[in-house]
Amino acid sequence: MFEIKKASLKDCSVIQRVAKIAFPATYKDILTPEQLEYMMEWMYSMENLCKQMEQEEHIYYIAYQEDRPVGYVSVQAQSKDLFHLQKIYVLPSCQGLGIGKVLFEQAIKVIKEIHPSPCVMELNVNRNNKALFFYEKMGMRKVREGDFPIGNGFYMNDYIMAIDI
């Protein structure tokens, strides 16, 4: 069984530890090693994780299986009726156990607590990411796509998916 706990600043190292395994495993066949390294620093350095929580109002939750962190999710308000599922990752050894589904549901739950009236949750997903099917299964739909510059000449080649909440 697993448990979901809200993360605080003191949990940034836990998120970072899981990310160092889950993020590269997700993108090893999609991105170059150079882009992977750049994105890991951009999203998961201690400085940037703390900035996300303190200044950018990302709300993180961590999934634990028998006290071992195995995944995380974060959401962020984008505008009055729009939220963004910024991150959702599960360790490769724990995928297929329903943890991703529970993290996804946690994201929706926290958005409903923050914003009880109808709204939309969007996410960016790489067009070659196998998780695309997971998001569709969870009720999301493709609403647009784009190639988004992220610095150092790198791009995120994504679908933007959405779900009405």
Render pLDDT for 124-164 as a digit per residue (tens, 0 to 9): 999 999 999 999 999 999 999 999 999 999 999 999 999 99
For 51-80, what is the mean pLDDT? Answer: 97
Both structure tokens of 14:
């836990």
pLDDT of residue 84: 98
For 79-107, what is the mean pLDDT? Answer: 97
Which domain covers residue 115, as residue numbers?
2-164
Number of domains in the chain: 1
pLDDT of residue 151: 92
For 67-81, what is the mean pLDDT? Answer: 97
Whether the model clears a pTM of 0.85, i.e. scores above it, the answer is yes
Q: Tell me, what CATH number does 31's domain have?
A: 3.40.630.30
pLDDT of residue 1: 80
